[in-house]
Amino acid sequence: MVMMESVVEVDSCLLSTWRPLPLGRPNTKPINPSPLKEEISKLNGPIMPGEVSSTDGSVSGDDCSDDSTSTAPSENSEELGITEKKLQMVVPEVVVQEEFSALQTVDIRAPEVYDAFAPAATRLRYMIKNSDHIIKCPGVYDGLSARIAIDVGFEGMYMTGAGTTASRLGQADLGIAQLYDMRTNAEMIANLRPDGPPLIADMDTGYGGPLVIARSLQQYHISGVAGFHIEDQIMNKRCGHLAGKEVVDVENYIQRIKACVVARAQLRSDIVIIARTDALQSKGFDDCIERLKRARDEGADMGILEGVKNKEQAALAARLLAPWPMCYNSVENGHSPLITAQEAQEMGYRIIIYSFAGISPAYVAIKSTFEWLKETGSTGSSVSPKTIFNVCGLADSIVIDEASGGTAFAKGV
């Protein structure tokens, strides 16, 4: 990939200091197949290369990197250059792809031209097609967990339905959260940094029939969500890693996908539709593959096979559906095996989401702190309020106030 760059002088109060960094050389690095993939290939024959999808449409792209610059300010605002009025920023203008292996072709409509200021959905499409590595998305469930993910420098984020239900409603993931709960949480997270890591959000079953599903997509679109997954469970659904899941028939499921595709076209949106199936428990592996193929043929951009039983099953699903991109849902201590990002990449997955990466450690930390507090009368914490505020955009607030002639921080912070 050839990068053309220009140096642009901009006002520090106009643009966020967060900037996605180049992905590297997309689709040019051969991924060495794992022994597992080689074994499956021997059993099932070679992978047939697919055609590259058209890039026609209203798309223009962007990319990100795990090495993204942190936005958390230090205790000393001068170190951040908060009082500076100018900064030098390198803005990539054009990305020209070189020839790449057909084995790494990804069948998704996406731009070839890099645009750092494109909508999050458009940037996510570019990342899925052009990244030379799997995109890791930690599960976030509120503003603080999302801010931390941004501060650490993740390329993307995933708003977990289970985490949203637990944090906003204090309930188990049993289909209790509805469109309002999910959309408002996603809107808040997506707009913490509209130019930052694209947000993929859980949309459960779509919350109703075709008209409601179309409205759900519209609400996610205007909220700044970059992509979402919609599943085939019955309306009275439950977490994908609980037993006893029931799914609708395949025609009902495809009706949901069609509603999403039509609504997206009407909005002229680039939002990424991820078709998820939870049919493995009750219908079996072959039925899941057929459901995902039907969803793909109707216009879904990616797929998720939820609750795979072993690594062989996960690898085979990615192979059978290639070059359609697949997303792997990594839930530690759930029904599926623990698969690392590297293993998922070798299997052919393009995105890996970690649904409980935020809420599980938060539970452990809060519970242990509260137990210590109850026993000793002190939390024992070493984290200052300013540490939290720094992660949550204190520096940006200072810049806005000073640039507008305010004096809110004149006496210090």
CATH value at residue 167: 3.20.20.60
Mean pLDDT, rounded, for 204-215: 97
What pLDDT, in 10s, does the model give residues 152-175? 999 999 999 999 999 999 999 999
Tally of CA atoms within 13 A in the half-sphere of 35 that contains its CB: 0
Please tell me the predicted confidence (pLDDT) of residue 241. 80
Number of domains within the chain: 1
Neighbouring residues of 19: CB distance < 8 A, sequence distance ≥ 6: 68, 69, 89, 116, 195
Please tell me the predicted confidence (pLDDT) of residue 361. 96
pLDDT band, very low/low/confident/very high, at 5 (cuts 50, 70, 90): very low
- 376 domain residue, yes or no: no
Provide the 3-class DSSP secondary structure of residue 402.
helix
Rounded Cα distance, 322 and 350, in Å: 11
Average pLDDT, the chain: 81
Contact 61, 111 (CB under 8 A): yes
- 74 domain residue, yes or no: yes
- 389 domain residue, yes or no: no
Contact 124, 226 (CB under 8 A): yes
Q: Centre a 10 Å sphere on the Cβ of residue 149 and count the other Cβ atoms it contains.
A: 25
Nearest-CA neighbor of 220 among 273, 170, 176, 174? 273
Rounded Cα distance, 1 and 323, in Å: 21
- 271 domain residue, yes or no: yes
Q: At what angle do helices 179-190 and 143-152 cross, to 10 degrees?
A: 40
Instruction: Name the least confident of 23-32, 197-206, 342-351.
Output: 23-32
- 220 domain residue, yes or no: yes
pLDDT > 60? residue 100: no
pLDDT band, very low/low/confident/very high, at 236 (cuts 50, 70, 90): confident
What domain range includes position 350? 2-362
Rounded Cα distance, 18 and 395, in Å: 12
- 193 domain residue, yes or no: yes
Instruction: Name the least confident of 95-109, 117-131, 235-249, 373-387.
Output: 95-109
H helices of 26-142, in order, are 35-44, 77-80, 120-130
- 412 domain residue, yes or no: no
What pLDDT, in 10s, does the model give residues 272-308? 999 999 999 999 999 999 999 999 999 999 999 999 9
- 325 domain residue, yes or no: yes
pLDDT > 90? residue 113: no
Tell me the percentage of the chain whose pLDDT exceeds 70: 75
For the entire predicted model, the pTM comes to 0.77
Contact 241, 336 (CB under 8 A): yes
Query: 9-18, 31-40, 377-386 — which one is most confidently predicted on average?
Result: 377-386
